[in-house]
Amino acid sequence: MRWLALIFFPLIAWSHPVIYKDGWVISSMTMPDMTDAGASYSFSSKWAAGVNYWRLQDKAGDEQEYQLAKLNHLLWRYNGEASQANVYLHSGVGRSEWGDIKDRLAVMGGAEADWETRRHFVSGKYLHLRTSDYDTGIWVGRVGVSPILAEFQDLQAWAMVQAWYDPITSRETKITPLLRFFYHNVLWEMGSSLKGDMMLNLMVHL
């Protein structure tokens, strides 16, 4: 069954924070009260560097923004015959803006883990954003299933549910059913939270 891993894992690996050596990833995640956009370059199979932009909007309409230089590290990987598991570390440093307060030093740290097969996907992520006078955490969890096992060169489709919590945009966990598609070097996701907030995600591998 190891041939499944050889076919499947190169396909999914580029959607992770660290991909294979010399790979570029450009990505964005957009909702009405949140934006996460970035670009990264994997200079080895365990390390990637890049830039990241965050926008978090609170209930009053005030926006908190972060512009960060990031470093991602593949801490641990398990390659089974038909499954893969990964643990990543995130770190970053840059600046933040919130209202009239600009150019504050900002730092970020966090961790991410996932497990997947050709049929199932589970992931969890925690990021901590901190400035000189404020800090906040972002928790994200996902479960997914692929209803059809498509061939390597065909359109891949997944049905997923995302749970998102951060204390800036909301004091409640945001549940978002979504559809994930990827074809060759492009991955895109579309969904809507249970409260009607649309979500659109895009990731391109260069």
Kindly report the CATH number assigned to the domain that includes residue 125: 2.40.160
% of the chain with per-residue pLDDT over 90: 75
The arithmetic mean of pLDDT across residues 60-77, rounded, is: 95
Domain that holds residue 39: 2-205
Summarised one tens digit per residue, pLDDT across range 128-142 is 999 988 889 999 999
Q: Considering just the CA atoms, what is the radius of gyration of the chain in Å?
A: 17
Summarised one tens digit per residue, pLDDT across range 143-169 is 999 998 877 778 989 999 999 999 999
CA dihedral 38, 117, 119, 21 (to 10 degrees): 30
CA distances for 85 relative to 110, 146, 160, 192, angstroms: 17, 17, 18, 28
- Tally helices (H) and strands (E) across the chain: 1, 12
Q: What is the pLDDT at residue 22?
A: 95
Instruction: State the total domains in the chain.
Output: 1
Token pair listed for 121: 């996907």
Q: Is the dihedral of CA 5, 83, 30, 188 positive or negative?
A: positive
